[in-house]
Every structure is written in C-alpha cells, then in structure tokens.
Structure 1
Amino acid sequence: MPKPPNPIGKRRLKTLERVLSKAGLGSRTDARSWIGSGRVRVNGKVIRNPDHWVDMDRDRVTFDGRPLRPVARIYVLLYKPTGYLTTWSDPEGRPTVYDLTAGVGTWLSPVGRLDLDTSGLLVMTNDTDFAERLTNPDHQVPKTYQLKASTLLSDQQIEQLRRGVELSDGATRPALVKRLRESARYTHLELTLREGRNRQVRRMIEAVGSKVLKLVRTAIGPIRIGDLPIGQWRILTAKEVKSLGGPRNV
C-alpha cells in the first residue's frame, strides 16, 4: 500500500498493524486479527483496515479502550537448542523459542530464523526497525557457524565454499571457511556468511557433495556464545546492540 502524499514535511507514518506490533502487544498476525475484530480505534473511530496509515505524532490509538503506551526496547540473545521452532506456535505442538523466552515479559520477534535441527545464537527483539536492519542484506552482518559434515571434504571442496557455490536461488557470496578438525569419516568446519538465505549452510554443503550432520550458529557479528548455557537467554548490552547496527540510546 503506497504512503499518502506528505505536503507538510516529513511525518512519522506507520500502518496500524505495525503500530500495534511495535507496541509489543503481539505479532503482526495478531495485530491484523485484533484490528479486524474491531478492538482498535484511531482518534476514537474503529478502524478495521490493518493498512490504515497512522501519524505517530498526531493520532491517538487505543486497544480495547486503552491508549497504547511506548514500550522499552528490549534486545535478547538466546542460545536455541535443536528441536525448537523459530515461530510463535506449531499446529503439531512442538516446542518453540517462545517457550524459552516466556520470562522476558513482553512480545519479542526473532531476527531471522534457525531451523528445527540447528542450534545456536538467535537475537529476539521488540524493535522492528533494528530487526529489519539486521536482516537487510545491504548491512551484511556476518554470522558464524560450526558444522560437522557427513564426509571428508577435500581442499577443492572447501575452496568451492569459499568462492561461492550455485544454489537454486543463485550463487552464494564468498564465505570465510576454516577447517577445524577431521576424524576418520567427518570434517568439522567453521563458516562465516554475510547473507542469510533459507537453510543456506546446509544447501551449500550439499552443493559440494556432502551433508550437514550438526550445525551451530556460534556468532552474530562480534557477539559469540561465550558462557551462555544452551536454552538460556540474556539481555544484550548497549555496546552489543550498537555493534549490530542498533540505536545508541538503548
């Protein structure tokens, strides 16, 4: 939906759906449902269009009769275990990352995803602008993974990964690849990528003729797992948020 004309200078305009999600009330899917059911008013009038433009400096938005209040921006680092989905709910009843972050006390959105069989670092936040910057390919925030491949990988295969491999959605960007160790049958690698496609690491390894048996995201930008226990979360420091391109005044 195009933004309305803006003849009086720059104004802070956001869709009603986005206003609710940024207020930390729930996901954008939740927001659309609440708006459609008539629970949201703008300047006293029920609005059922989730794409209705709201002037953040002039309009008054209420939810169930209560005005929206600014919420503190929260930035969480979670060490996700395998077996947890990066989604709000699952029709099959499988556990999700929200089961692990229930103690945060406000709605958080995952920044990117880790698939069911991948463990490691996941940032969650209620700052949607920050989340969009962190996932924007133009910002190229590096993400580091350690993996166990199902076969021994030759120097040629590793060089392919470094230069980029052809996937169904195009060639990958050059990657930093480090051989960590080898056993009789397996190769352990560390990969650092500056892009984030769906199941990219697994598909890259398959493209050179092997498979991933174990995958852990060990770092996002300069932030590493450190002593964070698996299944636990902590609040990112202001310095860490800034290092990922977040606001200075956290």
Structure 2
Amino acid sequence: MRSSGSGRNSGRGNHRGAGNERDERQGQGRPRKPRPEERRYDVGPGATKDGPKSGRGGAARGGAKGGPKQSQQGGRGRTAPARSREYEARTEERNRERYAGKKDIKLPKTFPGAEQEGERLQKVLARAGYGSRRACEELIEQARVEINGEIVLEQGRRVDPEKDEVKVDGLTVATQSYQFFSLNKPAGVVSTMEDPEGRQCLGDYVTNRETRLFHVGRLDTETEGVILLTNHGELAHRLTHPKYGVKKTYLAAIVGPIPRDLGKRLKDGIQLEDGYARADHFRVVEQTGKNYLVEVTLHEGRKHIVRRMLAEAGFPVEKLVRTSFGPITLGDQKSGWLRRLSNTEVGMLMKEVDL
C-alpha cells in the first residue's frame, strides 16, 4: 500500500520534470523555440552573440517600429551621411549649367482650343456688365456682338481685351477695368480731386474707390450739374478736346426782359476778351415775370464761357446748372449724388469721340 501510494505521489511530484525531459528529447532533432521570458530583443543588425555593440537593443537602431531607420547603402548597419547645403547648391548649379544652352521644350496642348490666346468673348462681356455668361451667349446668338467690325456668330470666340474692339448693338464695350461715374456737383464744391485749402472738392465723393479717378473738364465752383469721373484717360482727353466738339447743355437763370434776337446773337457769336464764343442752341424754357430760365448748348469748354457770354449780352447769370454732358443727362439725379454709368451710356460716350 505504501509503495503504491508513494509511486503515485512520486509520479505526481515529477510531472513537470518528466515534461522537461520529454521536451529535451524532442528538441534534439529540431531547434527549440524560446519561451517569452527567454526571448532577447537586443539582436539585430550590428549585434554580436554577446549582445549589441553599443549596449542598446536593436529596436533603438531601427530593429523595431519607432527607431531611426537604417540605410542599406554603404554597407549593412551603416547610416548614409546627410548631404550638406553646399553640396546641394553645387549640384543645382551644375544642373543649370548643363541645361543652360538648351531650348525650352514646348509640350503639346491636349485640350481643344488651347492653342488659342485671349479670353472667351462671353467672359469679357460678362465682366463688362452685360449680364451672366449665359445672357452674353444669347447676345452672340442674336448677332448683336461684333469684333473689329465683324459680327460674331459662333460661341467660344476669343478676344484680346487690349487690342480687339468689341461692340454690342454698335456701341463700344469697355473691356478693361475702367470705371465711369456721373456726379451732380453741388454749388460750392471745387472741381479738383484735392484742395490744399481744405475746401470740399470732387475727391471727397470718391475716396472709397480702389482705383484713382479724375474729372472730365471742370465746372465753376458756384455752377451745379453733371461732371464726369473716370480712369479712362483717352476717353477723358477726347471728351474735352475741341476737335470732337462734344456738346454741353446749361440752364441759366437771368433777369429780363430779354429781346427776341438774343438767341440769334448768341449763335452768331459774342466777342469776348479771348475771342468769339458761339452757342449751338438757345431757347427760353420758363418765364415768371422778369425772371427767365434759358437753355444754352455749346461745344466749347473755355472757363466761365456761359456766364461770360450772357454777361456780355447784358444778362448776368444768377444761377447756372449743367444738365447734360454729351449723351449723359442729369435727369432726376439729386444734388451730391454719384452714380455709375450704364454700359449703354459708356458706349454712347465712346461713339461720340470715335472710340
């Protein structure tokens, strides 16, 4: 009984030992996998049987994720030296010298119409304020648009805004970023963009504009009415040049009675100190007793020309208002109000001076 019991006990007690002996016998034919507690993590590139050269694990040298990666160039276990800035600069200079004498290679254009230059016509019209691109395409479909005197019938036509002349319904389109305004100048405002004496001037009405504007012609300080502001230098020059004879219309308040031949005298010419001055049109607009409101149209632009003509004829002006400058009329625009000219008005101005 004791011997059998002791055998069972000895078998239980030597269970782990028997397993170890079995593992050793099985491991004689093949290598045994190390247990987790027996695994070593300091083996890798640059390590020896006794351990790593530097005393640090291979994971710190790129053997595991997170460590610096090693380059395979220049031998196993070595890192490639970083290139200096001087080396990179010399390399770039050699490359420039190598390709300095070679011509630029023109790559083929792979999309339709890429070989054409300029902007699409409907885009130019849309930027000029003729509506959306679809609306501008409808203008082209209606044969209302012409380029350099030729009516455009196909969509997608390209133009050069700097060179080509574009017209809609016979009126020139301002294809560039020009601005055109009409101001109803009040009395007492100086016709300059800046005034060194601090008086109210035209520049006070356009201080918030991104581009610099300048006035077209002048009005006397006490004269009210239409004055144009723009950044289109050529248009402003032609509108004030006597060669183009752009007409201006004024309403003048005078005290009568006036003779019937006053209009004929003004049209025939009034002798002034700087030569004759002639009116293109004259009529009486309103009469209230001895007070008359007369309309005078002329194409000259000399200083105080209307006031001087009527004063020389014997009728000093009490109040003067310019009601139109060429095709631009005052209408119901209030005193001191600035408004942007429409595309049609700009086209009419350009047509007036052959632009």
Same fold (TM over 0.5): yes
Task: Compute the displacement of 1:134 (Å).
Answer: 0.5
TM-score normalised by the chain length of structure 2: 0.48
Q: CA deviation at 1:176?
A: 0.1
Equivalent residues of 1:141, 1:244 under 8 A apart: no
TM-score (norm 1): 0.67
Q: Does 1:145 align with 2:272?
A: no
Match of 1:94 among 199, 202, 223: 199
Could you say which residue in structure 2 is the equivalent of 1:104?
A: 209
Q: Choose the corresponding residue for 1:136, options 241, 257, 263.
A: 241
How many residues are aligned here? 179
Find the counterpart in structure 1 of residue 185 from structure 2: 80
Q: 1:210 to 1:174 in 2, by over 3 A?
A: closer
CA distance in 2, matches of 1:219, 1:200: 16
Provide the secondary structure at the position in 1 that maps to 2:208. Answer: helix
Partner secondary structure for residue 261 of structure 2: helix
1:202 Cα deviation after fit: 0.2
Mapped to 1, the partners of 2:299 and 2:194 lie a distance apart of 29
**How is 1:25-174 mapped onto 2 (pairs within 5 angstroms)?**
72-174=177-279
Contact 2:184 2:334 survives alignment (8 Å)? yes
- Cα distance per residue 1:37-96 (max 9 Å; x no partner): xxxxxxxxxxxxxxxxxxxx9xxxxxxxxxxxxx72111111111010011222332100
Whether 1:178 and 2:276 are equivalent positions in the alignment is: no
Amino-acid identity (%): 36
Aligned-pair CA distance for 1:155:
1.1
Q: Which amino acid aligns with 2:337?
A: Q
Tell me the secondary structure at the aligned position of residue 191 of structure 1: strand
Aligned 8 A contact 1:76 1:124 in 2: yes
Other-structure match for 2:325: 220
Q: How far apart are the structure 1 equivalents of 2:329 and 2:350?
A: 16
- Structure 2: gaps of 5 or more residues: 1-161, 163-175
Give the partner amino acid of 1:194: H
Aligned equivalents of 1:158 and 1:226: distance in 2? 25
8 Å CA contact retained: 1:163, 1:175? no
Distance of aligned partners of 1:184 and 1:244 in 2 relative to their CA distance in 1, 3 Å threshold: same
Name the residue aligned to 2:295. Answer: 190
Secondary structure of 1:161's counterpart equals helix
Higher helix share: 2
**Would you tell me which structure has more strand in proportion to its own residues?**
1
Distance in 2 of aligned mates of 1:107 and 1:240: 21
Correspondence for 2:54? none
Contact kept, 8 Å, 2:185 with 2:227, in 1: the verdict is yes
How far the C-alpha of 1:150 sits from its partner, in A, is: 3.3
Match for 1:146: what amino acid? L
Where does residue 53 of structure 1 map in the other structure? none
Structure 1 residues not aligned, in runs of 5+: 1-56, 58-70
Q: Are the equivalent residues in 1 in contact too, given 2:194–2:202 (CA < 8 A)? A: no
Question: Which one scores higher on RCO, CA 8 angstroms, separation ≥ 6?
Answer: 1
Which residue of 340, 343, 348 corresponds with 1:235?
340
Q: Give the direction of change, closer, same or farther, for the CA distance of 1:174–1:191 in structure 2 (3 Å limit).
A: closer
SS for the counterpart of 1:239 is helix
SS in 1 for 2:229: strand
Aligned AA (1:172): A
Q: CA RMSD in A?
A: 2.1
